[in-house]
Amino acid sequence: MVNEIATFGSKALSPNEEDVVEAANGNSDFLELVGDRVRSARARKNISRKKLSEISGVSQRYLAQLETGSGNISIVLLRRVAEALDYKIEWLVGEEDPYSSKLLSIISLYKQATSEQRMRVLEVLDPDHPNLRRSRRIAFIGLRGAGKSTIGRLVSERIDLPFLELNEEIEQAAGMPVNEVIALYGQEGYRRLEKQSVERIVATNDSIILAVAGGIVSEPETFNYLLRHYHTIWLKAEPTDHMTRVRGQGDERPMAGNPEAMDELKSILTSREALYERADISVDTSGRTLQQTVEDVLAEIADKSILSQ
């Protein structure tokens, strides 16, 4: 088509006709570029055109035209081809191929780098990356009786990270026990100290395991900060397990003079469940021994590569 336009008759082309020829040439070059990238990507995945057709749902005829630069494939079909090749569609049509030799070399070096080296690269390229904000900080959340303190301490011993109860930090900052903080300053005062303590721990610790009070999720600003700066683990349990564990610690207050305590506990759990589900990891502790739960938590930490970040 381009040649036909360029050689139509023997008369000179008008300015408008020259623009049409130039645009056609540009389109031809672009289609050849896209075709070459599709062909190269398919070669890297070591799959045949037939296999790519099966994965993407695009016919072999379309793929042949696309790879030879002779087919003006629709954007929808091109996206299906890109997804089948594990590419982003903008990689196929952008000015720079992310899999050029230079970038492949960088990718290869990054894969071979140590965790510390990768973190330094992220500090330069993406200083706001979540992994940098969270570092090696882990926070256990959940209702009272979930096992946050017990599991947290055991996990900290296994992975050699310091353990801290948030309430202990609050008490140290306030110079008095938590119950006195609440009696003197009320819930509002306690929540203010809670937020300050969470932020202070981030400022002074890159590696720590923290157990927080169950109600922290009800404070949006504090909880959002926790989610951004800690890898969060929700320890789940059935309401009866929560109650049994609290009483097993010698605390009869949940049931004392309150026959509706179990219903209230269920209501609290229901109201907070959607908030707890925002955690990075959830581990169900009901029907599991203490050791089994610890192993479950460690497996999740390894699966999410938290300690290698």
Could you tell me the residue ranges of all domains in the chain? 2-93, 130-308
Q: How many CB atoms lie within 10 A of CB 27?
A: 14
Contact criterion met (CB below 8 Å) for 294 and 154: yes
Token readout for 6 is 């360029």
Burial (0-12, 13-18, 19+ Cβ within 10 Å), 101: exposed
Q: Does residue 1 sit in helix, strand or coil?
A: coil
Contacts of 255 by beta carbon, 8 Å cutoff, 6+ apart: 243, 247, 261
pLDDT of residue 202: 92
User: Measured between alpha carbons, how far is 302 from 283 in angstroms, rounded to an integer?
Assistant: 14
Give the DSSP H or E segment for 83. helix 75-84
User: Measured between alpha carbons, how far is 122 from 48 in angstroms, rounded to an integer?
Assistant: 36
pTM higher than 0.95: no
Which residues make beta-bridge pairs with 141?
234
pLDDT of residue 138: 96
pLDDT of residue 235: 95
| Four-point Cα dihedral 166, 171, 177, 182, nearest 10 | -80
Residues of the chain with pLDDT under 70: 1-26, 95-105, 107-108, 115-116, 119-120, 122-123, 125-132, 248-259, 309
* Residue type present at position 17: E
Q: Does residue 279 sit in helix, strand or coil?
A: coil
Fold topology of 130-308 = Rossmann fold (3.40.50)
- Closest alpha carbon to 109 in 99, 100, 118: 118
Q: Which CATH number fits domain 2-93: 3.40.50.150, 1.10.260.40, 1.10.3720.10, 1.20.1090.10?
A: 1.10.260.40
pLDDT of residue 1: 43
User: Measured between alpha carbons, how far is 217 from 278 in angstroms, rounded to an integer?
Assistant: 10
- Closest alpha carbon to 81 in 111, 113, 59: 59
pLDDT of residue 24: 43
pLDDT of residue 250: 56
End-to-end CA distance of the chain: 54
Contact criterion met (CB below 8 Å) for 163 and 211: yes
